[in-house]
């Protein structure tokens, strides 16, 4: 199984969610994070002084799926989260060795 | 420890009971005006509200980890200074004069401060109404100072500072300006609602305190952004609201002078908010909400000494200039290198100074027969008096506060240690967290 | 369902129109004093503000998931109790006496409660001004009680409780103490601004209610920390501000008595905040902001019955003791094992009781000729009367509230179910979330 | 750029100094009543507080990224409209009549608006007290409008809108209704505290503005939930508190009319909060806190024109209906498809219209001899007059606001671009973030 | 070494923590997240309109442990976080290649 | 590719960020977390009662880098986040199988 982890722009979350549901994904977990990258931050003013804020708000979305689904999830995320502008985000794929559903103690693919 | 506390409580009770009742004996005098009394009581309540307002204003501007510590430095001024005022402060400030410098202690514990009017201060309201109105001024002034050393002062040191500063700095200056026999009052210096006593005094003291305590770790290269600007705005709103009591209540009566003070207060504040916003827009490309609110406070500060003495259009001018000079002061701070965390000096020190000078320019007996004409009405004298009094207040506030802070630093240390500063005042000084997840 | 509502609306309208206008016919009387009226109207507005203030104070102390539910229990008291008051409450509390226990219903719908003064209650202001000022007291009292069962009461049950409790508990006690013919008033019991009617009553009722509803899941082993102490401080600030209207407005006129009440209120509050802070510092090693604010509320509570009867120094003592006893009560709660979530009993019940007793000790006719002398001035009688009235109020409040809660529990259930408690009142009772991410 | 600013400042100063002092010359008149003046000054302060209150109310309802931008649209109305009022607004609204439509400019810069009473408007208080009280109304009205285009209006466009709208829409309507010679006043239309001038006017303008600016991106399919309902509640509490000044202060004196206005205001508000809560509970299964607060605001709005003219029970009915009709209006919005973000039209437009009509039904000379009898008291004429005036106000407000928005859109654009809307007003318009992590 | 990552109901955190401590676990890291899954969200009201909110608050708990401990951690989490209702959450197990304690520069099992 | 995940003290974030930038790192993602470990929590007071709070605020910083960079990133984090006191935090290294840049659909090393 794989964990597909996408760092995306916050306002894209609901589009991405819809795409994944359409794909038959039943679960995902979302975290508010702050990203640093090529997308520049912004300046904020405080009593006449400017401060450079490097981190920008991002959403981290994690979906654990069967190996064979991973690529389709990636496609779906790209298609929904893409704007073409710097800062659209990244997708990281990592291995998952075991999944357990707490409610039923099911393991593996059944648990997703 | 327990025994000592119990013993002191018993002792204290005994004293209370002993001296408690002289002041109560005064029978209601016939001259009391219900409208004037209503107005002064309302005003006292409004000024009381300013201190929680300031707590919110300041608390919104610090980092999350210091919000309670910052709020507490304002909030705790209410009980501590109020008790000091009842016991000795009112007597020192408004009691029988000693050498034009201070009141004596014969009004200790509000002895003889009863419910009939005191003709010297407010002939149509109970003396205690005047006393409690003035108490609220004594409360908020050191709270303003606390903006200078926000985010790094030890709470024990702050409590000691509060008591020393109120007694040694606030009470004398209040006596100079408003006490019968006080030298500034005798000289003809005009301060309608506390330009010297509250604003210059707190602002200049803030500068001295900021210098003694030193910069916050990481300042100025690390951004220390306000953690919650909605609190700040709420605080600013409450300050504006309460300031009507502060300024128009200083007429100590309802009627034309109160109205004039109310009107000039509002107009100057509007103008200063506008001016700050415009200059920031021009200077930095964007008009901030904090800027508009800071400008408003600058206007409130600057009109304070002038409120009951100047007409609407001079107030507009006075306020506009206040917005500009305070903006400049606040921006310059970064160059000068002292860390007055929340700009108590830039806003109150500079704004108050401009206001005191402007009173010497724009005051008019047409507005208030009890005042004087300023430069603009052909009386350069008043402007000179104002300048002299400004200089004296600056010197006294700076020197005394500097000394108090230095002594406290030597004796108990004014600053939390590095780890505590990192972790924040809320947890380390008060064992609390402002917000749970 | 729809039809029934429409029908009741039409019926209700008819009733309104029928009885609507008797009260309006009263011509303005010549004796109305503008200053007194201004003061009482301002005071009524200030007391109104206390209820949102309490909502914030309480709301800041609960967990995030219950903040709206908690605030709503205060806020909704405004419309519900206000309407009850207009229809029957004012008549029950202040209308013509029935057996020294309650007013009759002849002032139903404010019938005959017009714009000319009612000499029994307030001879220099319109009767309706007195009525609306008193309304605000009826509103806030059950809101105070709600602190006891915060975080677990069903909203339907709360609405029912509000109506029953106001009618069966608040209105009678208000009549005993303030209504012409009420037995405590006749006996000479002193309650300047609601020590019995508001504080003991709400506090003791809180105890009964907390016992009936039972502890929150997880209490006391799971920490249930306040989710936002800045809201708490704001609430405390608004309460302090509003309480000037509550206490000094209870003079029902501007002037010396209002001033005395204002001054004693502030001084006692300062002393109590100080005392709580000191005892907590000594007991736990750190002075919290919540402690200072809680102490202030304890002082406000305790001075309430005494406000217009005692001088400044006795107020200092009264407030200081209030801070100590309420601190002790709040700490003891954990040992006694009932879960009064926000310490309505510890602060209002205990503080109010002490205040009522202290009135019997410190009251002085030198402050208010309309009062009486207390123990300290050689009149032990007053103290005894106060003690008796305290006992009666405790008994009545406890018994009635216990019964109301038990009946409600049997009929509709007072408590949300376990899942709902876990998820929080905001979502389950009101379909809302206080904060979005 | 700098040079130009300096030059304009000098010029402005010159003008100020030139015209500054005519108004100050007025000597205090003997007829000033201290109680009336105290009441009107307090009321002015209360109304000022409503604008920060509105900022909080609105700010709590928008998304996090727009909270400062939303608050600023209210807050900035204080300085901008206040200055406009001093310079020309008061003269346009209350100055000598020109064709029953508007005042002339002879009171420019408050020329002749001094400290003695103006018998036409308020014979027992300084003219400036009346002027500043009215100023606060001019300030809050466009702030109410801003709810319609929250979360998407360009700040520069908003500033321009503020000035144009105040001058071209608010000032004339204020003159029609309250200015000596104004046609609605002459016709006998009743508007105690701004049902036409403030409520219908702001609400209908909101509708026009919402239509011109268009919907927010994502509305209505994307939920745009309020980001902080505790701010909303605080705002609602401050509005309710301040509205006592708004309505009861509109008596321009203390006494019976102020009392009647105070009482009717509170009762109608309670009834409307109750009605909204009940209808929502029935319609959606749960009673929300936002609903209760929205209902309260609807009641405050609806009673505004009627406040000093109607008795307690009619107020109860008036308020109850207000809660129902405003609830319906707000729910219908989604069907009609315009995006009035914070329901300025649904609450103020509809509530104000109902209130103005209801004044024609329930007004009674028994409450206020200076008013008139309504339909219920056998005078159908008043109801017809009210209807006519409602129609005229609707037409004028809608047409003028629509035009102003269209012109602004053509000239500078009223709307931020898509990226800015996505990122939020706080960062893009003001360079600020409301909250740090 | 393994990372055992559990998505649980927020009110179960303190029970899970106690169980892990009892097992001899010395460290863990906790994040507030929002979950989407079979557990339905809820509706919220806003001025008479209903909105469907899909995401529910969850807690993500991460514990890095030696391979041999992983199974016992899983058991412990299941036993403490189980309510039997939909939405109890999932456990994901992923490989960890290296652990370093910043304070001491220790690596591997010593660093945990 | 590797994900280097560091749990650090919040006030160290800006130092760590600077060091990583100096190393040529172009992106990172930061999450606010709460940690439980050897560093004791603190007590909080609530109306005269003391409560023990076990979790302390931490920052989780994630950087995905090429295998060969991982060690240098570890060094950099250690040098910047080290104070020598308990609670300095941990670094976990885990494998990453794929990285995709949403904006360009680049994969692998190019996407970082
Ligand atoms: N090497 C990395 N490791 C972890 N997160 C990264 C890394 N590079 C980028 N990110 C995350 O991806 C976000 C977008 O990256 P950025 O460089 O701004 O734009 P783009 O995705 O268009 O290349 C960043 O804000 C950050 O959260
Ligand atoms: N495939 C998945 N990937 C990541 N997180 C998931 C996945 N499925 C479920 N989750 C997380 O687990 C939580 C519980 O899942 P849910 O389907 O609601 O109930 P259950 O755990 O009883 O099957 C979700 O809220 C979500 O945070
Ligand atoms: N086994 C673990 N799994 C996950 N996170 C851990 C683990 N051990 C420690 N942590 C995280 O590292 C932080 C620091 O650990 P701690 O034991 O307090 O000090 P030190 O890093 O000095 O050993 C903890 O607060 C926690 O967030």
Q: What is the pLDDT of residues B108-155, one digit of tens each?
A: 999 999 999 999 999 999 999 999 999 999 999 999 999 999 999 999
Q: How many CB atoms lie within 10 A of CB F57?
A: 16
Say if the Cβ atoms of A11 and D422 lie within 8 Å.
Answer: yes
Residues 6+ apart with CB under 8 A from D264: D247, D303, D306, D307, D308, D310, D311, D312, D314, D315
Residue nearest to atom 13 of ligand 3 (CA): F89
Element (H, E) at F99: strand F98-101
Q: In 3D, which of D223, D256, D359 has the Cα closest to residue D301? A: D359
Say if the Cβ atoms of D432 and B237 lie within 8 Å.
Answer: no
Say if the Cβ atoms of E45 and D331 lie within 8 Å.
Answer: no
Question: pLDDT at residue B4 above 90?
Answer: no
The structure tokens 């910047």 sit at F80
Find which of C57, C284, C293 to mutate to test the F interface (most F CBs within 10 Å of its CB).
C284
Which residues 23-82 in chain F show a CB within 8 A of chain B?
Answer: 34, 42-45, 50, 53
pLDDT tier for residue D266 given thresholds of 50, 70 and 90: very high
Min Cα distance C151 → chain E (Å) is 15
Read off the DSSP letter of residue D151: T
For residues B70 and B62, the answer to whether their CB atoms sit within 8 Å is yes
Q: What is the pLDDT of residues C305-342, one digit of tens each?
A: 999 999 999 999 999 999 999 999 999 998 899 999 99
Which of F17, F29, F67, F110 is the best mutation target for the ligand 1 pocket, counting ligand atoms within 8 Å of the beta carbon and taking the most? F29
Which of A89, A92, A94 is the best mutation target for the ligand 1 pocket, counting ligand atoms within 8 Å of the beta carbon and taking the most? A89
Distance CA B4, CA C371 (A): 37
Q: Which two tokens stand for residue B97?
A: 């004069």
Q: How many CB atoms lie within 10 A of CB C173?
A: 29
Looking at all shown ligands, the one closest to residue A54's CA atom is 1
Q: In 3D, which of C67, C46, C45 has the Cα closest to residue C240? A: C46
Looking at all shown ligands, the one closest to residue A60's CA atom is 1
Question: pLDDT at residue B44 above 90?
Answer: yes
Question: pLDDT at residue D25 above 90?
Answer: no
Which of A29, A73, A110 is the best mutation target for the ligand 2 pocket, counting ligand atoms within 8 Å of the beta carbon and taking the most? A29
Distance CA B71, CA B424 (A): 13
First to last CA, chain C: 38
Nearest to B431 among C34, C38, C288 (CB): C288
Q: What is the pLDDT of residues A22-69, one digit of tens each?
A: 999 999 999 999 999 999 889 999 999 999 999 999 999 999 999 999
Phi, psi of A67 (to 5 degrees): -45, -45
Residues in chain F: 112
Q: What is the pLDDT of residues D137-189, one digit of tens each?
A: 999 999 999 999 999 999 999 999 999 999 999 999 999 999 999 999 999 99
* Ligand 3 atom having least distance to the Cα of F86: 22
Per-residue pLDDT for chain C (437 aa), expressed as one digit of tens each? 444 544 444 444 444 443 444 344 444 445 899 999 999 999 999 999 999 999 999 999 999 999 999 999 999 999 999 999 999 999 999 999 999 999 999 999 999 999 999 999 999 999 999 999 999 999 999 999 999 999 999 999 999 999 999 999 999 999 999 999 999 999 999 999 999 999 999 999 999 999 999 999 999 989 999 999 999 999 999 999 999 999 999 999 999 999 999 999 999 999 999 999 999 999 999 999 999 999 999 999 999 999 999 999 999 999 999 999 999 999 999 889 999 999 999 999 999 999 999 999 999 999 999 999 999 999 999 999 999 999 999 999 999 999 999 999 999 999 999 999 999 999 999 999 999 97
Q: How many CB atoms lie within 10 A of CB C284?
A: 17
Q: Which residues line ligand 1 (CB under 6 A)?
A: A 7, 35-39, 56, 58, 86-90; F 27-29, 62-64, 101-103, 112
DSSP string, C237-254: HHHHHHHHHHHHGGGSSS
Find which of C6, C10, C45 to mutate to test the D interface (most D CBs within 10 Å of its CB).
C45
Q: What is the pLDDT of residue A11?
A: 92
Beta pairing partners, C131: none
Give ipTM to 2 decimals: 0.95
Q: What is the pLDDT of residue B135?
A: 98
Say if the Cβ atoms of B291 and A50 lie within 8 Å.
Answer: no
What's the pTM value of the predicted model, to 2 decimals?
Answer: 0.95
* Ligand 3 atom having least distance to the Cα of E29: 27
Q: How many CB atoms lie within 10 A of CB A24?
A: 9
Say if the Cβ atoms of E37 and A27 lie within 8 Å.
Answer: yes
Distance CA E47, CA D298 (A): 13
> Which bin fits D267, alpha (ψ -120 to 50), beta or left (φ > 0)?
alpha
Q: Where are the beta strands (DSSP E) in chain E?
A: 2-8, 28-36, 42-46, 49-53, 56-65, 90-95, 98-101
Find which of A10, A103, A108, A111 to mutate to test the E interface (most E CBs within 10 Å of its CB).
A103
Question: pLDDT at residue D53 above 90?
Answer: yes
> Which bin fits D222, alpha (ψ -120 to 50), beta or left (φ > 0)?
beta
Instruction: Determine whether the shortest distance from the Cβ of E62 to ligand 3 is under 6 A.
Output: yes
* Ligand 2 atom having least distance to the Cα of A30: 27
Q: In 3D, which of C183, C194, C302, C229 has the Cα closest to residue C59? A: C229
Q: What is the pLDDT of residue A77?
A: 97
CA distances from C396 to B83, C158, C346 (A): 37, 20, 18
**Mean pLDDT (chain F, rounded):** 95
Output helix, strand, coil percentages for chain E, rounded to the nearest 5: 30, 40, 30
> Which bin fits B47, alpha (ψ -120 to 50), beta or left (φ > 0)?
alpha
Min Cα distance E41 → chain F (Å) is 24
Nearest to F36 among E27, E31, E95 (CB): E27
- Beta pairing, strands E56-65 & F2-8: unpaired
Per-residue pLDDT for chain E (112 aa), expressed as one digit of tens each? 999 999 999 999 999 999 999 999 999 999 999 999 999 889 999 999 999 999 999 999 999 999 999 999 999 999 999 999 999 999 999 999 999 999 999 999 999 8
Phi, psi of D31 (to 5 degrees): -85, 0
Looking at all shown ligands, the one closest to residue E57's CA atom is 2
CA distances from F48 to B394, C287, C294, C334 (A): 43, 10, 11, 10
Say if the Cβ atoms of C126 and D39 lie within 8 Å.
Answer: no
Distance B429 CA to ligand 3 centre (A): 26
């Amino acid at each position: 199984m794989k964990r597909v982890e996408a760092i995306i722009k916050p306002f894209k979350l609901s589009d991405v969610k819809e795409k994944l549901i359409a794909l038959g994904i039943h679960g995902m977990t979302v975290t508010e994070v702050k990203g640093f990258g090529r997308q520049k931050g912004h300046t904020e003013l405080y009593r006449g002084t400017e401060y450079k804020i490097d981190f920008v708000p991002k959403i981290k979305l994690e979906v654990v799926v069967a190996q064979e689904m991973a690529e389709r999830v990636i496609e779906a995320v790209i298609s929904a989260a893409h704007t073409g502008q710097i800062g659209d985000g990244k997708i990281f794929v990592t291995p998952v060795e075991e999944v357990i559903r707490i409610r039923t103690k099911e393991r593996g693919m059944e648990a997703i | 420890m327990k025994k000592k506390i119990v013993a002191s409580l018993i002792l204290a009770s005994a004293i209370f009971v002993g001296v408690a009742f002289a002041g109560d004996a005064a029978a209601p005098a016939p001259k009391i005006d219900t409208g004037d009394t209503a107005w002064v009581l309302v005003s006292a309540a409004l000024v009381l509200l300013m201190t929680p307002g300031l707590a919110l204003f300041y608390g919104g501007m610090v980092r999350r980890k210091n919000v309670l510590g910052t709020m507490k430095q304002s909030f705790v001024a209410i009980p501590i200074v109020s008790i000091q005022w009842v016991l000795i402060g009112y007597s020192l400030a408004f009691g029988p004069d000693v050498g034009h410098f201070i009141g004596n202690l014969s009004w200790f514990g509000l002895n003889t401060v009863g419910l009939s009017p005191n003709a010297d201060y407010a002939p149509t309201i109970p003396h205690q109404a005047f006393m409690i109105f003035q108490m609220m001024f004594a409360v908020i002034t050191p709270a303003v100072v606390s903006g200078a050393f926000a985010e790094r002062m030890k709470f024990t040191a702050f409590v000691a500072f509060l008591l020393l500063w109120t007694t040694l700095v606030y009470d004398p200056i209040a006596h100079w300006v408003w006490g019968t026999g006080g030298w500034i009052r005798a000289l003809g210096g005009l301060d309608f609602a506390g330009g010297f006593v509250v604003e210059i005094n707190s602002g200049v003291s803030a500068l001295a305190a900021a210098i003694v305590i030193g910069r916050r770790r990481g300042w100025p290269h690390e951004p220390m952004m306000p953690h919650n600007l909605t609190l700040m705005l709420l605080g600013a709103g409450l300050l504006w609201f309460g300031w009507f009591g502060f300024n128009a209540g200083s007429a100590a009566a309802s009627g034309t002078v109160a109205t004039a003070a109310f009107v000039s207060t509002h107009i100057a504040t509007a103008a200063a908010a506008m001016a700050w916003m415009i200059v920031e827009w021009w200077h930095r490309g964007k008009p901030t909400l904090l800027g508009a609110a800071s400008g408003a406070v600058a206007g409130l500060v600057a009109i304070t000494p002038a409120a009951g003495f100047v007409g609407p259009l001079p107030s507009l001018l006075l306020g506009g200039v206040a917005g500009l000079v305070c903006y400049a002061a606040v921006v310059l701070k970064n160059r000068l290198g002292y860390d007055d965390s929340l700009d108590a000096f830039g806003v109150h020190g500079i704004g108050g100074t401009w206001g005191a000078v402007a009173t010497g320019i724009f005051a008019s007996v047409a507005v208030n027969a009890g005042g004087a004409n300023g430069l603009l009405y052909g009386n350069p004298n008043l402007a000179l008096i104002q300048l002299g009094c400004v200089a004296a207040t600056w010197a006294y506030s700076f020197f005394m506060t500097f000394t108090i802070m230095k002594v406290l630093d030597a004796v108990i240390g004014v600053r939390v240690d590095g780890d505590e500063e990192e972790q924040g005042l809320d947890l380390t000084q008060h064992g609390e967290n402002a917000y749970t997840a």
